[in-house]
Amino acid sequence: MVLSDSKIQYVNGFAFSHDEQKVVLIVKNRPRIFKGLKNGVGGKIEEGETALDAIQREFFEETGVQVYNWELFLIQEGEYYKMFCFRTTMDVSQVYTKTDEEVVVNDINKLEGVIPNLEWMIPMALDKEVQLAQVSIKDEKF
């Protein structure tokens, strides 16, 4: 299903090690508000793409690893955006930096320097009881 919505649509992916002790993150250069902070890997959904297509493309473009077993666990929506958050497990030692934003493998117990919502998103991603959560954020602009 191709997404159509007047809001800007994004994907955000959390790739965990098989033992779920490490997560792949990216040190953001953009937008300026997040410069220097770590986030999940992702970006904008392009015209004609599904959210799943977009996370597969974005993860490969930024980490050099093609991952197909993504699971949607969260849809976060604000006034101007909609973000589809995915989770997976993989061999995180395979990732590397392919763009101007550094890819890092981060210990989940040491989440310093992350954008604020990762403090609750990462535990939610690891919670297997969460099948698909929907969160609405008011008055947040990126």
Residue 64 lies in a domain: yes
In this prediction the pTM is: 0.91
Strand-pairing partners, residue 114, are: 38
* Number of structural domains found in the chain: 1
Q: Give the integer Cα–Cα distance in Å for 98 and 101.
A: 8
Residue 63 lies in a domain: yes
Q: Summarize pLDDT for 47-71 with one digit per residue, the tens.
A: 999 999 999 999 999 999 999 999 9
Compute the average pLDDT of residues 8-29: 98
Q: Summarize pLDDT for 75-125 with one digit per residue, the tens.
A: 999 989 999 999 999 999 999 999 999 999 999 999 999 999 999 999 999
Q: Give the integer Cα–Cα distance in Å for 114 and 110.
A: 10
Instruction: Tell me what pLDDT residue 104 has.
Output: 98
Residue 1 lies in a domain: no
Domain span holding position 109: 8-136
Instruction: Tell me what pLDDT residue 124 has.
Output: 97
Instruction: Tell me what pLDDT residue 138 has.
Output: 75
Instruction: Tell me what pLDDT residue 55 has.
Output: 98
Checking DSSP bridges between strand 22-27 and strand 103-107, what pairing results, if any? antiparallel
Instruction: Tell me what pLDDT residue 5 has.
Output: 60
Residue 142 lies in a domain: no
Find the CATH number of the domain harbouring 32: 3.90.79.10
Residue 2 lies in a domain: no
Find out whether 30 and 74 touch, Cβ atoms under 8 Å: no
**pLDDT at residue 6 is higher than 90:** no
Q: Give the integer Cα–Cα distance in Å for 45 and 84.
A: 10
